[in-house]
Structure 1
Amino acid sequence: MNFKRIFSGRFIQLFSVVILSVALLGGAYFVGYKVGRQYPEKLVLEGISNPSANESSLDFNLFWEAWKKLKDTHIKGANVSEQDMLYGAIAGVAGSFGDQNTILLRGDNGEAEKFSEDINGHFGGIGAEIGVRNDQIVIVAPLKASPAEKAGLESGDQILKIDGEFTRGITVNDAVKKIRGPLGEAVVLEIYRDGWPGPKDISIKREEIKIPNIDSKIIDGNLLYVTIYTFNGNLSRDFRDVVNLAVSKHVNGIILDLRNNPGGFLQTAIDLAGWFLEKGSVVVKEQFRSDPELTFRTTGSGALKDIPMVVLINRGSASASEILAGALRDQRGVQLIGETSFGKGTVQELDPLSDGSNLKITIANWLLPNGQAIEKNGLKPDYEVPFTEDNLKDGTDPQLDKAIEIVSGKK
């Protein structure tokens, strides 16, 4: 299988976000529709993809019956094109898996192109990673220096409405489409946060979003403080500057800050793990439906493996962030500080269709080196340290303070 992995689950998307063959729905669909209308006899496809006498038959006559009734009877039947109905059918098949991360990205309306812009770290919007928890759209993480961060959005915030429209039950992809819009125009989000007496409307002006990779600096006691904002394609290259700084300054410890980092490319997480772990160490495993597990190991030099370190995580740490933090915990005993992470641990494959559309399909679960599944579980920190609104207002950071304390050996 040729895996075109785009996430450490994300987008979750930087916003982020059908297993029927293209031949079935790309070609047979149109042919079948024409034949079904001219000759409305029973149409049977065996087993959907590879016909076999041992597989059960599926009667597609029901499908064409529903198609015709909708097209002929619905009040908008004359206005909805057969192409839109086709896309709706494919999206419906994707939705039948009950997986918010398995979706159709249409090529004709720019969805596929916008998604490509998102994962390459350059797009327009409010700059927030979003996901779904308990059928409700939530903020996974506001991106660094984004309109969402400036507006005060936080990880875990529930988006109840987008421009007055309720969001409960909609997909991440649909929410993204509603939030995005012309640059310079505002979108109004009705937000509810745990502890608030009620929801609040927050107006956010859309901007072009450029996501930074990484910041690093030397802090108290010759400690290297490294903040990673996203695991995009440039991070592996940029992280070399961090390694050079650590080696040249002979740092006493490293604090790796993965808070509000929604993820990105799997290979980038593996590349970074290679600086901190012995060569050949297991970083993560992919567990498929039927194929054997696929194990990913480090190939790096391990140049930073002997330097004491801790990792900061919170509710906005997802996918690639959780993979790296979990690998460091399991393989080196690195302690995690902050709050339980988001729990995004599935693998998506981006498969192109013949018309320029894409299918984003969940194909596997991630397992950490100790066998823990990330999905919906997240990583529980060794030191649970809350970060409150009061901390945000007064500029204090108890989580970072705890990290300095631990990596300095003061406790």
Structure 2
Amino acid sequence: MSADLDSVESTDSADAARPPLRLAYGKETWKEVAHLLANLFTALAGFVYAVVSVLLGVGLSVTVVGLPLLALGLGGARLIGRSERARARGLLGVRIPEPSPLPHARGFFPWLWASLKDPVAWRTQLYGLIRLPWGIVTFTVTLVSLFVLWPVLPFLARGLANADRGMVRGLLSPSDELERRIAELESDRGVVVDTAAADLRRIERDLHDGAQARLVALAMGLGLAKEKLLDDPEAAAAMVDEAHGEVKLALQELRDLARGIHPAVLTDRGLSAALSSVSARCTVPVKVSVDLSERPAEAIEGIAYFTVSELLQNVSKHARARSASVDVWRADDRLLLQVRDDGAGGARFDGGTGLAGLAERLGAVDGLLVLDSPEGGPTTVTAELPWRSRPKA
């Protein structure tokens, strides 16, 4: 019986390792055929562009215009690379991240130097030079197979297309891991900027619609009370009493706003006390466990607090749960947060609960958000943040 199970497991593993089955003349095959037939024309255009732009720039390099022409030609090569990546993505299913743009250079000579040493553009020019003979071969073989070698067309198309996939990955991918990381960080920076702008707009709106409006009404009420102080002391006293209530409400709104920016309890007592405080405002009982031997850096601590706060708001609004738990611990160089509830489950990143935005904000600081929420529950959301120690006082 054990041998049978081992046989089944090894069969399953082998099946998982194989590429997915597809029809011999399915849409994938025809996309590959279209790509291979178009190779001749795109390769010819890329070859002519590479030869003319490089030879013209190098040949005129002894003049004033030579190197700028070469730099402009390399800039055009980047556009050709973008179109080839799009063609491979649409017809071959090869998804390659776009390389990061050249760094912004102030002045002519910094721009010229950055353009001339751009590895992405030079590899695209090399791609254009070596593609012409390959484009002739693929066009000829595919065209002949369409009319003469019909039975083996799917296999020939798959083999030639795989070679194309390797060429695109090898020459049109971002330069290296650092290049890809730069592109990711640039994208994350945009998320951080957008989030900060949204937070500023929220604070401005809360101040304008809440405490500011209440303080304006308070000032008007005190002004009217001052006018009635001698003529109608009882009415003035009533108005002052009403103003006193408005002051209390304004102070509470300002405290709530300050807590939304950065709660004092987090600064003074750390995550354990701050998370216990935010858990007390949840509509279901929450058990909090924080296992940290030291406090993380203030920025990481603040992100952790607001992450748990937002997740507990989701529990209150959407989970239909009876209880929840919050666990915080450190694993090597990561800070881990886990919020679990026994509600109805079925949470999704596109379900309108703000999880997608939360995942983006965590990703912007090299964090991660993992969701496990089957229908019927329970729901477990795990967040990871990079650990940075708090500077010594």
Could you tell me the TM-score, scaled by structure 1's length? 0.23
Which has a greater percent of helix?
A: 2
Structure showing greater Rg: 2
Which structure has more RCO (C-alpha within 8 Å, separation ≥ 6)?
1
Could you tell me the TM-score, scaled by structure 2's length? 0.23
Which has a greater percent of strand?
A: 1
